[in-house]
Structure 1
Amino acid sequence: MARKTKDPGFGFNSHENVRGIINKDGSSNVIHVNKKFNVDDLYTYFVEMSWSRFFLYVFIGYTFLNILFGFVYTLIGIEQITPSTGNFFGDFLNGFFFSAQTLTTVGYGGIAPKGITANLIAAFQAMLGLLSFSFITGLLYGRFAKPKAAIRFSDNLILRDFKEHRALMFRLMNNRKTIMIEPEIKVTLSINEKNKEGRYQRAFHELKLERDKIMYLPTVWTVVHEVGEESPLHKYSNEEIEKLDAKVYILLKYHEESFGQSVYQATSYDFSKLEINMKYSPSSHFNEDGFTVLDHGKLSEVELIN
């Protein structure tokens, strides 16, 4: 008899075709409303965002500050830093480039403030530049130093005959050249079905795995859940499993040599990625010198069972 597990924090209430809580890349799929803004969250926000967005924000912030101070220098009189060109746009460009030199503390020496007002503004801007670049430097260090797992999971799940029963399987590998030390994995199955009252409800089951922990992993790990009598999938046929509104949530923990500490990575599968009566193709082989060759392109490759 399959045993249900406690709610892992997702909630039992559901509806038809409910979206998963965790995305394939491990990010949360929860929409937050009425959440109060906290300044302390800014660091996490900038560290967690993508590199492209991070550098876009840096560029936008840098450009905005220089445009702002360029207008300020133009409005107080560009003559306080350099002779006027006779038109507003030319004076603004001189103010913009002087602002860039002041903000970055480059100071080429070709343009310099002469009036007391321009000197006060330039002094304030120089302080603002030092604070801004210190903040950006801290964020860059935080982004590089943050421990991150680099695990690739197969794009698909497979359901195939295994020993005396069937088995649900997926594969994973380390996307770095380091060896995964003491990887440990937990797999939770969520099945969304109608109850006796006709309302949708989710049932959670912690799947028993053939192995949930190994010593180290240099190549590929095929994670296996045997669909025996104690499995929550045992009562379903292959065709019924294929049509289930079900999702698999995975949490992997291991010691990462690059950071010298344990890291975590989460992912999920829905049963639309399920392939039946297939097996994974070998992803590694030996070369002529006896070295093991791992082909990252074959992680999700499957073939028919003969």
Structure 2
Amino acid sequence: MAKKTKDPGFGYSSAENVRGVINKDGSSNIIHINRKFKIDDLYTLFISVSWWKFFAFVFLGYTLLNVLFGIVYTLIGIDEITPSTGDTLKDFLNGFFFSAQTLTTVGYGGIAPQGITANIIAAFEAMIGLLSFSFITGLLYGRFSKPKASIRFSDNIIVRDFNGERALMFRLMNSRKTIMIEPEVSVTLAINEEEKETGKYKRSFFALKLEREKIMYLPTIWTIVHVINDKSPLYTYSNEELEKLNAGLYILIQYHEESFGQKVYQTTSYKFKQLVTNVKYAPSSGIDEEGYTILDHEKLSDVEKMD
């Protein structure tokens, strides 16, 4: 008889169309409301956003600062830094490009502040530029040096006959060339079912017992196996019922990463809509003529029919 586990933080309340709280890539799927933003959150924001968003923020901030100071130089009189052209747009562009030179401390020498007001503003802008680029440099270092796992999970989960019983399986591999040292995995099953008495949906959680939860090291691919025996929460479901089951898997894996010299973590999730039955995973590694092991990263999710 399968034993339920305590709520791992997802909540027992549910709905018919409930979404998983963890996305496939391990990111959170929680919508936060009434959350107060603090200045300390900026570091976490810029460290965690995708690269294209990070550089978009940098470009936008750089452009807005130059536009702001370009307007300031135009308003105090462009003659403070260079003779006026008589055209407001051209004067603004001169102020904009002078601002870019001051902010980056490039200083080509073609334009220079003349009056005391322009010198004060340029000195203040140079200070902002130094602080800004120091901040961005720190963020770049933080993004590159932040310990990260780089694990690929199969796109599917399968149920197949296994040693006279059935088993639930999925595969994972390290997308880097380093070897995963002492990888350890834990899997939580969440089943979403309607209560006949109330008509409301509730979630039940089970910690799945795995064939192996920890190994010494992983150079290639690891197939995670949960045997569906009489102690499994999936034992009473047929293969057809499993394919229609409103359930999901939440996976946490941790291991020692050689690149960073410390333990790293990665999470992911599966919905049972990704379940395929009566198939097995196709081989994804082999031996070449010289005796080297060849690992094909494109075959991680490949399956083939059972014999």
Work out the CA distance in 2 between the residues paired with 1:89 and 1:119.
Answer: 22
Work out the CA distance in 2 between the residues paired with 1:30 and 1:118.
Answer: 49
1:243 deviates by 0.8
Work out the CA distance in 2 between the residues paired with 1:274 and 1:62.
Answer: 47
Work out the CA distance in 2 between the residues paired with 1:143 and 1:272.
Answer: 34
Question: 1:9-58 CA distances to partner (integer Å, 9 max, x unpaired)?
Answer: 11111111211111100011111111111111110011000000010010
User: Is 1:124 equivalent to 2:110 in the alignment?
Assistant: no
Question: 1:176-196 CA distances to partner (integer Å, 9 max, x unpaired)?
Answer: 000000000000000001224
| Structure 1 SS opposite 2:252 | strand
Q: With the length of structure 2 as denominator, give the TM-score of the two structures.
A: 0.99
1:89 deviates by 1.1
Question: 1:169-219 CA distances to partner (integer Å, 9 max, x unpaired)?
Answer: 000000000000000000000000122422211110000000000000000
Q: With the length of structure 1 as denominator, give the TM-score of the two structures.
A: 0.99
User: Is 1:51 equivalent to 2:51 in the alignment?
Assistant: yes
Question: 1:223-276 CA distances to partner (integer Å, 9 max, x unpaired)?
Answer: 000000100000111111111000000000000001000000000000000000
Partner of 1:2: 2
- Letter aligned with residue 92 of structure 2: F
Partner of 2:306: 305
Partner of 1:191: 191
Work out the CA distance in 1 between the residues paired with 2:4 and 2:227.
Answer: 17
User: Is 1:108 equivalent to 2:134 in the alignment?
Assistant: no
Partner of 2:276: 275
After superposition, residues 2-21 of structure 1 pair within 5 angstroms as 2-21=2-21
- Letter aligned with residue 131 of structure 1: L
Work out the CA distance in 2 between the residues paired with 1:74 and 1:15.
Answer: 58
Partner of 2:172: 172
Partner of 1:205: 206
Work out the CA distance in 2 between the residues paired with 1:16 and 1:196.
Answer: 13
1:84 deviates by 1.2
Q: Note the residue ranges of structure 1 that are not aligned, 5 or more in a row.
A: none
Partner of 1:241: 242
- Letter aligned with residue 98 of structure 2: F
| Structure 2 SS opposite 1:155 | coil
| Structure 2 SS opposite 1:293 | strand
Work out the CA distance in 1 between the residues paired with 2:14 and 2:91.
Answer: 62
| Structure 2 SS opposite 1:264 | strand
Partner of 1:284: 285
Work out the CA distance in 1 between the residues paired with 2:88 and 2:194.
Answer: 70
Work out the CA distance in 1 between the residues paired with 2:194 and 2:87.
Answer: 73
| Structure 1 SS opposite 2:202 | strand
Partner of 2:225: 224
**Identical aligned residues as a percent:** 72
Question: 1:118-160 CA distances to partner (integer Å, 9 max, x unpaired)?
Answer: 0000000000100111111111111111110000000000000
RMSD in angstroms over aligned alpha carbons? Answer: 0.7
- Letter aligned with residue 123 of structure 1: A
Work out the CA distance in 1 between the residues paired with 2:29 and 2:111.
Answer: 52
- Letter aligned with residue 270 of structure 2: Y
User: Is 1:96 equivalent to 2:106 in the alignment?
Assistant: no
Work out the CA distance in 2 between the residues paired with 1:288 and 1:45.
Answer: 49
Work out the CA distance in 2 between the residues paired with 1:134 and 1:92.
Answer: 27
Work out the CA distance in 2 between the residues paired with 1:139 and 1:118.
Answer: 31
Q: Note the residue ranges of structure 2 that are not aligned, 5 or more in a row.
A: none
Work out the CA distance in 1 between the residues paired with 2:34 and 2:80.
Answer: 49
